[in-house]
Amino acid sequence: MEVPEQRMSMKVIARKDLTPEICEFTLAPQNDGELPAFTPGAHITIETPSGAMRRYSLLNDGGAPAEYVIAIKRETNSRGGSSSMHDDATVGTELQVEPPENEFELVGASKYLLIAGGIGVTPILSMARKLTAEGKPFKLVYCTRSAAETAYLEECKAFPGAIVHHDEGSLDRFYDFWDHFEEPGTEHVYCCGPAPLMEEIKAVSGHWPEGRVHFEDFNAVAVVREDDVPFKVTVSGSGHTIEVPADRSILEALRDAGEPTVSSCESGTCGTCKCRLVEGEADHRDLVLMDEEKNDYIMICVSRAKTGDLVIDL
């Protein structure tokens, strides 16, 4: 497995607490080099201090950026990404960062409906800022649990016609989106947030024309499931046999054991961690491998052993 050559060495030059659980980080290149430009909706992939690779949406103007700005929520069940950024990515910390990618690109439209839930506001806010600068019409709906947990609250409230809704953790207070979707309009919809929000938008927009409702989801695959069990993985090159606990992925177990690994999305969607499957039957959970590849390869960031143990070649 070869380390991607495009990774950039960057350092944390500022960090700011936005809420008790959300922190904004500003990253600058180590050698004051020129950074790749990006458009609203773009994200970068960061090797966090724990070694975990995580994707974070960019907030700042990407026309000719001198820095990258992201905001990260400390997840309650963090697997080493968000918690290590909050705890260990202090000012001066060096981080390896992959160039921006955009799978959530704004398309040309007469108007827009932007929907954010919680930390999903990051790409949505970038879009709102851009549309405002260009004088294009849009409506923002931003749903959070409470005002105290709402990042960029005052800025979002200031957008004309913006709706900022707090449900206080009650299902009875969940925002009703039907009025926005009952009659398909001419707008394009962009939605980013937790799974329940995105499932709701998918449900209420099912009668809209295809391609008009866009979603950003960094958690496409459940890495660990309730019925997962431990198993062992042997690395054919080194002969090293490693226990993979029920609550860790093969990639995480290898990383914890000091085996060299390469990854990017760590959600089964990019293909970077593809390894040869030498022995054993895999429980394939990725969205990358074709059926004819599944006897010979495995994506170690999400897939597991179906029965018994595995032998892989890194």
DSSP string, 190-248: EEES-HHHHHHHHHHTTTSPTTSEEEE-S--S-SS-TT---EEEEETTT--EEEE-TTS
Q: Give the whole-angstrom CA distance, residue 193 versus residue 219.
A: 10
Pick the CATH number of 8-101 from 3.40.50.700, 2.30.110.10, 2.40.30.10, 3.20.20.70: 2.40.30.10
Q: Which helix (H) or strand (E) holds 126?
A: helix 121-134
pLDDT in tens, the chain (314 residues): 444 558 899 999 999 999 999 999 999 999 877 899 999 999 999 999 988 889 999 999 999 999 999 999 998 776 678 999 999 999 999 999 999 999 999 999 999 999 999 999 999 999 999 999 999 999 999 999 999 999 999 999 999 999 999 999 888 899 999 999 999 999 999 999 998 999 999 999 999 999 999 999 766 566 788 899 999 999 998 899 999 999 889 998 998 899 988 888 888 888 889 999 999 999 999 989 999 999 999 999 999 999 999 999 99
CB-count burial class (<10 Å; 0-12, 13-18, 19+) for 55: buried
Alpha carbon separation from 294 to 40, 139, 266, 278, 279 (Å, rounded): 36, 44, 18, 11, 12
Instruction: Read off the pLDDT of residues 182-223 as tens digits, 9 standing for 90 and up.
Output: 999 999 999 999 989 999 999 999 999 999 999 997 665 667
Q: Which helix (H) or strand (E) holds 96?
A: strand 94-101
In one-letter notation, the amino acid at residue 100 is P
In one-letter notation, the amino acid at residue 178 is W
Q: Give the whole-angstrom CA distance, residue 5 versus residue 11.
A: 18
Q: What pLDDT is recorded for position 218? A: 64
Pick the CATH number of 112-216 from 3.40.50.80, 3.20.20.450, 3.10.20.90, 3.40.50.920: 3.40.50.80
In the chain, where are the structural domains located?
8-101, 112-216, 231-313
Instruction: Read off the pLDDT of residues 286-296 as tens digits, 9 standing for 90 and up.
Output: 989 999 999 99
Q: What pLDDT is recorded for position 195? A: 87
Q: Give the whole-angstrom CA distance, residue 73 versus residue 88.
A: 14
Q: Are 123 and 96 in contact (CB under 8 A)?
A: no
Architecture category of domain 231-313 in CATH: Roll (3.10)
